[in-house]
Amino acid sequence: MLEWSVDNKKWRESFAPKIRDLRDELRGRPAETLAEEAGAEWDGAKLELTLLGKKYEIPHPEFVVRFADGGEPCPEELQALLLDYLKLADGTQPRGRWLSYRELPHGQFYFRAFQGYAERPLVQEVGNDADGLQEAARRMSGEPIEFGDCGFAFTVLPRVRLAVVYWRGDEELPPTASVLFDEAAGRYLPVDGLAQLGRMLTSRLAKEYRALGG
């Protein structure tokens, strides 16, 4: 356990240079412009972003991302994700055209890893119970889409939409899950950030599914 803790601390600390650079860059941009382009709320002192239904506050000019329901700073990985989103946001609206992870810029190189930590764990959790997954998706305000045996789209960040498509298995093929990304998503996060969002979405879906007794 001690070895894991040391490794985890080093991994968290590895985000420090990126977070520092992101904060420095964001301080040089008007908060009102950041809010408009990212779809965030601005109250004159802080930005507020919603990620998978949970609110986060980002005071200006500190740019320390905090949980809105307690004010505690977020873990470094989440700090980097949301600050990256603010940095890259350009106001482009979702386009309604879906891409697989491997179709994203540079996604071809990482899609097998993405399958391993985002898509396959959901299949292991759900099996052939697409009906149970549909109920879990509805509880997360997912919007049905006409893909697979079960497909739902989610507004994960204000300008970033992802979808989860599910196919039941049969005697020849196992069940399959696929995470899709709106074509505009790459304008808001790099490919590793989008992978993180995909993992967060499927993990949350699996949690909701378990809560239903699946």
Q: What is the pLDDT of residues 116-146, one digit of tens each?
A: 999 999 999 999 999 999 999 999 999 999 9
Say which DSSP state 162 is in: E
* 101 Cβ neighbours under 8 A, 6+ residues apart: 107, 110, 111, 114, 115, 179, 181, 194, 195, 198
Residue 3 has pLDDT above 50, yes or no: no
Spatial separation of the C-alpha atoms in residues 168 and 101, rounded to whole Å: 20
Residue 181 contacts residue 99 (beta carbons within 8 Å): yes
Q: Is the pLDDT of residue 7 over 60?
A: no
Averaged pLDDT, 189-214? 95
Q: What is the pLDDT of residues 49-107, one digit of tens each?
A: 999 999 999 999 999 999 999 889 999 999 999 999 999 999 999 999 999 999 998 99
Percent of the chain with pLDDT over 90: 89
CA distances to 44, 69, 72, 91, 144 from 78, rounded to whole Å, are 23, 16, 13, 21, 28
Cα dist from 140 to 17, 45, 54, 59, whole Å? 34, 30, 11, 27
